[in-house]
Amino acid sequence: MARIRAVEIKHFRGIKELVWHPSPGINCLIGPGDSGKSTILDAIDFCLGPRRNIQFTDADFHRLDVETPITITVTLGELDDGLKNLDAYGMFVRSFDAATENIEDEPEKDAETVLSLRLTVASDLEPSWTLVSERAEAQGFDRNLSWGDRVRLAPTRIGALADYHLGWRRGSVLNRVSEERADASAALVKAARDARAAFSEEAQGQLGETLGIVTTTAKELGIPIGENIKAMLDAHSVSFSGGTLSLHDEGGIPLRGLGIGSTRLLIAGLQRKAAAQSTIILIDELEHGLEPHRILRLLASLGAKEKSPPLQVFMTTHSPVALRELSGSQLFVARRSPNGHEVLNMGTSDGVQSTIRLYPDAFLAPSVIICEGASEVGLVRGLDQYRTANGRNAITALGTALVDCGGGDSDRPFARADAFNALGYRTAVVRDDDKRPTTAIEDGFIAKGGKVIAWRDGRALEDELFQSLSDDGVKKLLALAIELHGDALVNEHIRSATKNAKELAAILAEAEAGGITPDSRTALGAAARTKRAGWFKSVTWMEEVARDIVGPDLAHADAGFRELVESIFGWCANAGT
């Protein structure tokens, strides 16, 4: 059945212009608020849905400019024989080259045959649909898809009113899982009040296959509806039509009473069964109403792990669980660009895929700080907690996420940062300076708009803290190290770092005498970052250091260090500039 090869949107709501070539399987759209994710789903739905009228308003036009028409063009490939019928659509078939993503108006020998359907809305707010063909237009021909083909191609939309699909209404998924149909009108006329019970027995024979498919699907997805579900006349219905029938559980309770999550999960499973007739499904806010384990089941039912995708799915999400479960080839970032909108595929490089697994939440924020190690993450988090407690905006409220690069090679943070940068995220790197990265790599990152905050003069973070804080701050750092690790280990680290030139007792005596010497500060910094046994080398420890010691002492600290800290939070605050 048909799949979408291209989506072109012009002048629709927040989207000035967008051209996107989706994948034939899962297309999960992520991005900051107002990046156009839901608008893209609405555009596909409005263009392909079997509607004769859609209520548009001036607000649907980009920047309220009603003089420029809305155009939404969806190009469909993998056409069945009916859609490639030359008598019906011969003047309108086009070609699509998957390698170049080019669409040609004339059919080409080695390219896929496609049809392009366009929805246009002018200032009169009246929508019109037409197939796109330059050669047909030149000869004065125009036509739409036949109504039957529109109904067959229509995507299934799972949204706030998903329980629509739990009845035999026009366009519902129940009318797609099998060819069975029931005529309820005779039963309604014959026995108005007794019809629900009377027709239930008739419907079992008429809709047995469909009911069996629903029962099997519910079992597969762990939805408790019983073994003997029924098709009964809907007590809420006021029309003598297919919509008079809806699904009920074995106790006769309408399935529309299921929770939001169960309803969405069941309908997605049924759409999978109906894939032979309709392959396109639209899901806004995938996670709505679903616990994490049921998000995984929904993604599995949509074919997220299958090599040959059974459905073409367009969905949006803000769920880290969904990102972690999907591959980079199934994830797309929606972005505003200077010339309109763009949708960028995350890709499957090792850097991207590993970051998705470890830090999926970072891809849901507009700004990302890549921290060289856990210590930097803890420092920023702790300082953020201190600042928030004192009336400043939290960096999460400013749309900033933190990523721990895990230390190691000094170029490593930039490899991870480049993965975000290429996808349009505002990206900064906070790094040590004791082992400097390759100059060309860092300069290249900065040239692409990246921000680098590095500690000074060849220092690691621990060096910077012990050399920049006031005497009172240094004494508190040393006291916390002793509390965490004990006098003996702290003393051993100091002696090892100074080749026995200094000891803990002597430094404590200096502190009591009124001043810690620069040599002792240098020794403490080196001792604190002892490899594999650092005094504060964990997110939790450094978070405490930053919140309880560095934050309160910052006003008395070295001006250069204070400037570095302010540059981190200033960058977070300037997300819109």
Provide the residue count of the chain. Answer: 577
Section 207-217 average pLDDT: 88
Candidates 372, 479, 353, 485; CA nearest to 429 is: 372
Eight-class DSSP state of 163: G
Please check the confidence at residue 500 and state whether its pLDDT lies above 50. yes
Domain boundary residue among 336, 361, 386?
A: 361
pTM exceeds 0.75 for this model = yes
- Whether 452 and 325 map to the same domain: the answer is no
CA distance 344 to 342: 6
- Residue 234, pLDDT score: 67
Retrieve residue 415's tokens. Answer: 């490899």
- Whether 564 and 461 map to the same domain: the answer is yes
- Whether 151 and 288 map to the same domain: the answer is yes
- Whether 463 and 484 map to the same domain: the answer is yes
Over the stretch 378-408, which tens digit does the pLDDT of each residue have? Answer: 999 999 999 999 999 999 999 999 999 888 8
Domain boundary residue among 273, 289, 322?
A: 273
Please check the confidence at residue 562 and state whether its pLDDT lies above 50. yes
Retrieve residue 445's tokens. Answer: 């990152």
Q: Are strands 451-454 and 426-431 parallel, antiparallel or unpaired?
A: parallel
Q: Which secondary-structure segment (H or E) carries 342?
A: strand 340-345
Please check the confidence at residue 550 and state whether its pLDDT lies above 50. yes
Over the stretch 39-51, which tens digit does the pLDDT of each residue have? Answer: 999 999 999 988 8
- Whether 345 and 381 map to the same domain: the answer is no
Retrieve residue 518's tokens. Answer: 């620069």
Average pLDDT over the chain, rounded to whole? 88
- Whether 440 and 538 map to the same domain: the answer is yes
C-beta of residue 202 within 8 angstroms of C-beta of residue 182: yes
Pinpoint the alpha helices (H) of 315-438: 320-325, 350-358, 374-389, 412-421
Please check the confidence at residue 266 and state whether its pLDDT lies above 90. no
In this structure, of 227-241, 375-389, 538-552, the range with the lowest mean pLDDT score is 227-241
In this structure, of 59-73, 100-114, 160-174, 546-560, the range with the lowest mean pLDDT score is 160-174
- Whether 149 and 191 map to the same domain: the answer is no
Which residue has better confidence, 219 or 19?
19
Pinpoint the alpha helices (H) of 160-237: 185-190, 195-206, 208-220
C-beta of residue 434 within 8 angstroms of C-beta of residue 463: yes
CA distance 262 to 298: 10
- Residue 345, pLDDT score: 94
For residue 8, the cross-strand partners are: 19, 73
Eight-class DSSP state of 276: T
- What's the number of domains the chain is made of? 3
Which residue has better confidence, 524 or 275?
524
Q: For the chain, what percent of residues have pLDDT higher than 70?
A: 91
- Whether 561 and 463 map to the same domain: the answer is yes
Retrieve residue 249's tokens. Answer: 């559980």
Candidates 243, 226, 225; CA nearest to 235 is: 243
Residue type at position 196 = R
- Residue 163, pLDDT score: 60
φ and ψ of 447, to 5 deg: -65, -25
CA distance 74 to 6: 6
Retrieve residue 182's tokens. Answer: 């029931």
Please check the confidence at residue 371 and state whether its pLDDT lies above 80. yes
Match 């759409």 to its residue by tokens.
Answer: 271
CATH code of the domain containing 69: 3.40.50.300
Candidates 345, 340, 342; CA nearest to 327 is: 345
- Residue 185, pLDDT score: 56
Candidates 269, 256, 261; CA nearest to 216 is: 269
Which residue has better confidence, 532 or 214?
214
Give 235's pLDDT tier (boundaries 50, 70, 90): low
513: domain range?
Answer: 365-577
Section 438-460 average pLDDT: 95
- Residue 170, pLDDT score: 66
Section 75-101 average pLDDT: 92
Q: For the chain, what percent of residues have pLDDT higher than 90?
A: 62
Section 529-555 average pLDDT: 94
CA distance 126 to 122: 7
- Whether 375 and 324 map to the same domain: the answer is no
Which residue has better confidence, 240 or 29?
29
- Whether 3 and 117 map to the same domain: the answer is yes
Give 186's pLDDT tier (boundaries 50, 70, 90): low
Please check the confidence at residue 130 and state whether its pLDDT lies above 60. yes
Q: Distances in Å between the alpha carbon of 506 and those of 195, 476, 499, 536? A: 95, 16, 15, 22
Packed helices 487-498 and 518-528: angle between N→C axes, nearest 10 degrees: 110
Domain boundary residue among 273, 298, 323?
A: 273
- Whether 74 and 211 map to the same domain: the answer is no
- Whether 103 and 133 map to the same domain: the answer is yes
Please check the confidence at residue 159 and state whether its pLDDT lies above 80. no
- Residue 384, pLDDT score: 97
Candidates 263, 251, 261; CA nearest to 167 is: 263
Q: Report the 10 Å Cβ neighbour count for 403.
A: 24
- Residue 239, pLDDT score: 46
